[in-house]
């Protein structure tokens, strides 16, 4: 019963749709009594409306959603930026222009081509670095191709980076598509002095100069000490010191003080002989001195010369003899020869017997 009622309701709905179409067909073909269905419409069988007095209510029909076959083309975007993100740069300061071509999907959906060379004003291109990156967020992939232009200002004043066309092709596509970056208007300022580096360099230079100066001063002081030590003559030998008395004897003779000159000459001979024999002969008499020298292994010439000097000096000191210039010169010459002979023989005192 329930199935029969549902079938009746369906047939009633079809009748409501079909009746207007049937009336139009009857008017157009009055010669025939056979009814025809409009094109593309299936023929519906005739049926009777159910005999009922209840109001007519139609059931709702189900709906479907159609899906498009294939894959949606990716949305491609281009973005450009400067690093550092400024519009005023100093001469010599590097500038990085980043151009990024990105889309969502697979890496092979888009085939990028090399971007065009940028048109630069008062800026020079030093190089370009290319990189790619794939970022995943769940099932969604974002692909980005980045071009890093290394730029450097070349002159003061206004500068610009004109728009760059970035070309690409879609997968299985032959047409070349283009996207354009932004234009950058810049101002180039005078070169900025690297004060920090200059101060560090100056401090390093001062330290280096200081260390070098200390080293040089130490080296100079060492050289001076060496030179000073080299210039300082060794202490004079005893015989050289005795030769200083010869000048004194000559001066006394010149001043006419012959007695004092002979006294100095006598002490000089006693001192030289005493150093040779290793004894104090300053207070020995002439006879004692002659006896002492006779017992020493001395050169007879040295002994005779010493005796001659002492004899001449005794005549002047004790006999009142006034020496002539020839006598004075002879005394000086004998004293000088005596010192030379003793020094040549070594000047080393001999052991007492």
- For the stretch 261-283, pLDDT in tens is 888 888 888 888 887 777 777 76
Per the model's pLDDT, the better-predicted residue between 54 and 238 turns out to be 238
Per the model's pLDDT, the better-predicted residue between 2 and 62 turns out to be 2
Report the pLDDT value the prediction gives residue 194, as an integer from 0 to 100. Answer: 79
In this predicted structure, the answer to whether residue 343 has a pLDDT above a threshold of 90 is no
CA–CA distance, 162 with 238 (Å, rounded to integer): 101
Report the pLDDT value the prediction gives residue 100, as an integer from 0 to 100. Answer: 92
Q: What's domain 77-189's architecture?
A: Sandwich (2.60)
What pTM did the predictor assign?
0.41
Per the model's pLDDT, the better-predicted residue between 244 and 285 turns out to be 244
| Mean local confidence (pLDDT), 178-187 | 92
Of the listed ranges 133-147, 278-292, 296-310, the one predicted with least confidence: 278-292
| Mean local confidence (pLDDT), 291-320 | 80
CB 182 within 8 A of CB 149: no
Neighbours of 119 (CB within 10 A): 12
Q: What is the CA radius of gyration of the chain?
A: 68
Q: How confident is the model at residue 15 (pLDDT cuts 50, 70, 90)?
A: low
Q: Where are the domains of the chain?
A: 77-189, 201-232, 238-344
Report the pLDDT value the prediction gives residue 297, as an integer from 0 to 100. Answer: 66
Report the pLDDT value the prediction gives residue 302, as an integer from 0 to 100. Answer: 82
Report the pLDDT value the prediction gives residue 64, as an integer from 0 to 100. Answer: 28
Fold of domain 238-344: 1.20.120
For 288, list phi and psi in degrees, rounded to 5.
-65, -40
CB 257 within 8 A of CB 322: no
> What's the pLDDT tens digit per position in 308-330?
888 888 888 888 888 888 888 99
Report the pLDDT value the prediction gives residue 191, as an integer from 0 to 100. Answer: 87
Report the pLDDT value the prediction gives residue 4, as an integer from 0 to 100. Answer: 57
CA–CA distance, 248 with 244 (Å, rounded to integer): 7
- Give percent above pLDDT 90 in the chain: 23
> What's the pLDDT tens digit per position in 150-172?
999 999 999 999 999 999 988 88
In this predicted structure, the answer to whether residue 196 has a pLDDT above a threshold of 90 is no
Could you tell me how far CA 352 lies from the centroid of its own chain? 80
| Mean local confidence (pLDDT), 77-93 | 91
Could you tell me how far CA 149 lies from the centroid of its own chain? 26
Report the pLDDT value the prediction gives residue 83, as an integer from 0 to 100. Answer: 92
Report CA torsion sign: 30, 36, 41, 47: positive
In this predicted structure, the answer to whether residue 29 has a pLDDT above a threshold of 60 is no
Q: Which residue in 74, 56, 65 sits closest to 9, CA to CA?
A: 56
Q: What angle do CA 290, 291, 294 make, to 5 degrees?
A: 85
């Amino acid at each position: 019963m329930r199935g029969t009622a549902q079938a009746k309701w369906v047939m009633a709905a079809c009748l409501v749709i079909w009746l207007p179409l049937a009336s139009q067909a009857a008017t157009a073909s009055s010669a025939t009594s056979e009814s025809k269905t409009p094109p593309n419409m299936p023929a519906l069988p005739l049926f009777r409306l159910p005999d009922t007095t209840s109001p007519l209510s139609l059931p709702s029909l189900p709906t479907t959603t159609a899906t498009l076959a294939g894959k949606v083309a990716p949305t491609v975007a281009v973005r450009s930026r400067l690093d550092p993100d400024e519009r005023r740069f100093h001469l010599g300061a590097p500038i990085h222009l980043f151009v990024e071509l990105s889309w969502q999907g697979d890496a092979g959906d888009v085939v990028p081509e090399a971007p065009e060379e940028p048109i630069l004003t008062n800026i020079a291109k030093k190089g370009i670095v290319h990189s790619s990156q794939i970022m995943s967020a769940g099932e969604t992939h974002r692909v980005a191709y980045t071009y890093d232009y290394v730029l450097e200002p070349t002159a003061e004043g206004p500068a610009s980076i004109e728009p760059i066309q970035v070309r690409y092709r879609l997968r299985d596509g032959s047409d070349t598509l283009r996207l354009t970056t932004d234009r950058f208007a810049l101002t180039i300022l005078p070169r900025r002095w690297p004060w920090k580096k200059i101060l560090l360099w100056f401090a390093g230079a001062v330290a280096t100069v200081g260390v070098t100066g200390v080293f040089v001063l130490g080296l100079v002081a060492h050289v001076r000490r060496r030179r000073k030590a080299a210039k300082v003559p060794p202490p004079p030998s005893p015989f050289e010191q005795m030769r200083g008395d010869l000048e004194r004897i000559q001066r006394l003779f010149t001043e006419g003080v012959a007695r004092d000159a002979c006294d100095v000459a006598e002490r000089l001979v006693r001192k030289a002989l005493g150093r040779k024999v290793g004894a104090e002969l300053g207070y020995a008499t002439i006879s004692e001195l002659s006896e002492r020298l006779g017992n020493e292994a001395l050169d007879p010439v040295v002994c005779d010369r010493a005796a001659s000097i002492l004899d001449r000096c005794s005549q002047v000191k004790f006999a009142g003899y006034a020496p002539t210039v020839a006598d004075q010169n002879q005394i000086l010459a004998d004293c000088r020869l005596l010192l030379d002979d003793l020094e040549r023989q070594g000047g080393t005192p001999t052991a007492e017997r």
